[in-house]
Structure 1
Amino acid sequence: MRLVIARCSVDYAGRLSAHLPSATRLLLIKADGSLSVHADDRAYKPLNWMSPPCSLKETEDNLWTVTNKAGEQLIITIEEILHDSSHELGVDPGLIKDGVEAHLQELLADRMEVLGDGWTLVRREYPTAIGPVDILCRDSSGTVLTVETDSVPPRPRHWAVEIKRRATIDGVEQLTRYLEYLNRDTTLAPVGGVLAAQSIAPQARTLAEDRGIRCLVLDYDELRGIDKAEDRLF
């Protein structure tokens, strides 16, 4: 990547014309050939840019011409260069989001008490023929019978937990399909549903509750033990 801070003017010639009068700006030239012109505001958004593939031609009279495959040009007239440096950044590993669904699943599996006292984990990514259920767990009621006879001991109820960052109607429909499938298994049924997310859309909550699915809003920091409710004064 090449970073150039220069006093310059910029003209764009293509489907329309645009002109940036003389000012001090940052010119950012990336290894993919793209060039963008930045001011000291507007956050990340450039004043003008040329996307790859494109070519940069520099002349001795400090005229830069950037041309893309469509023949459009960004013409930069350099008046004074204040800084010019190049840096090898290497291959970027990409963005790793904090609080993604897999991490929420892992945290919730370690904190079954968030779902209720005495709840226990059966398995994460419980396999079914229509896809894996994020979490299958049991509550501690022990009052549900699969067969109405005294010879069969009471068995805890099973729960399928679907985890989302933001739960929408699609998440409710997905969990509904899992519940319909799991409740055909006499070794598991009856299976209840929990829609767990950092935020739940109002329409999703309404549909879930109408179908008897429990909704649970997850506090990511609290799951990580950063902000425990019992430690708060208010």
Structure 2
Amino acid sequence: MRLVIARCSVDYTGRLNAHLPLATRLLVHKGDGSLLVHSDGGSYKPLNWMSPPCTLTVEEPDEDAASVGVTQQWRVTHKKSGDALVVKIYEVIHDTSHDLGVDPGLIKDGVEADLQRLLAEQVSVVGEGLTLVRREYPTAIGPVDLLLRDDNGGTVAIEVKRRGDIDGSISSTPTPSHVAVEVKRKAGIDAVEQLTRYLDLLNRDPHLRPVKGVLAAQSFAPQARTLATDRGIDCVVLDYDAMRGVDSGLPTLF
């Protein structure tokens, strides 16, 4: 990877035309051939870029460009579309190259599979007196992640997702009726709609009904909680760090 800080202007030509006037910017030329133009702002998003497959060639500026101070010109051309990103460099402030090697890729923590596994091991988070029957309980519109049974013989169906749409809590004592639980990392209206569809299907089974719905997430949107409450669906907040035995570092009262 090559990192260049330079005073430059940038022009994009092709399916659209765009111009960045003269300013100091960071040019990132990656091993895959791509070029990204960054300013000191805008977070991770570049001002302009060329994605691979593309090639970079360094050109001598023409007389007009050289007369106004351009010392070198980069042309990055897309191999398929022919679009071009032309960088006119007036002054190079920093230029360094680094071999980063092969990146192992992003390893995500707290995804749906992690939440499902932890909740299967700690079903008491949903309510007391619950035992796990099986994971991935099949329905005609997809599997409900966890099937539980309470100490009164009722059934609890739990759907686990990383992202969701609600805000709320669940009563500590489950009812003897069947309970369907949609678990999400951050909950919203879509989660309520999904669980509603599951409940409609599960309540048609005479061996399961009545089925009570519960949505679980790490945090909740107020609109989703309102909709869930209106439809008789309870909500439970999951503390992911506590479930995996990690101290979050946040201060507590006790």
CA distance in structure 2 between the partners assigned to 1:11 and 1:175 by the alignment: 50
Change (3 A) 1:203 1:29: same
For 1:200, the aligned partner's letter is: F
Change (3 A) 1:66 1:136: same
Change (3 A) 1:41 1:190: closer
Query: Structure 2, unaligned stretches of length 5 or more?
Result: 61-70, 156-175
Report the CA distance between 1:32 and its aligned residue.
Answer: 3.0
Contact 1:136 1:158 in 2 (8 A): no
Structure exhibiting the larger radius of gyration computed from Cα positions: 1
CA distance in structure 2 between the partners assigned to 1:226 and 1:71 by the alignment: 50
Tell me which residue corresponds to 2:218.
198
Contact 2:3 2:97 in 1 (8 A): yes
- What are the residue-to-residue correspondences of 1:71-90 with 2, within 5 Å? 71-77=83-89, 79-80=91-92, 82-87=94-99, 89-90=101-102
Tell me which residue corresponds to 1:19.
21
Report the CA distance between 1:92 and its aligned residue.
Answer: 4.8
How many residue pairs end up in the alignment?
218
CA distance in structure 1 between the partners assigned to 2:129 and 2:83 by the alignment: 68
Report the CA distance between 1:47 and its aligned residue.
Answer: 4.2
TM-score with structure 2 length normalisation? 0.71
Report the CA distance between 1:29 and its aligned residue.
Answer: 1.1
Mapped pair 1:108 → 2:119: yes
Change (3 A) 1:206 1:45: closer
Q: Percent identity?
A: 56
Out of 215-224 and 95-104, give the one that drifted further: 95-104
Output one character per residue of 1:199-229: Cα deviation in whole Å (capped at 9) or x when no partner: 232232222222222111212222222249x
Change (3 A) 1:110 1:191: same
TM-score with structure 1 length normalisation? 0.76
Tell me which residue corresponds to 1:149.
none
Tell me which residue corresponds to 1:9.
8
Contact 2:217 2:236 in 1 (8 A): yes
For 1:51, the aligned partner's letter is: S
CA distance in structure 2 between the partners assigned to 1:78 and 1:89 by the alignment: 31
CA distance in structure 2 between the partners assigned to 1:225 and 1:91 by the alignment: 29
Change (3 A) 1:161 1:33: same
Query: Structure 1, unaligned stretches of length 5 or more?
Result: 145-155
CA distance in structure 2 between the partners assigned to 1:16 and 1:38 by the alignment: 15
RMSD over aligned CA atoms reads 3.1
Contact 1:193 1:214 in 2 (8 A): yes
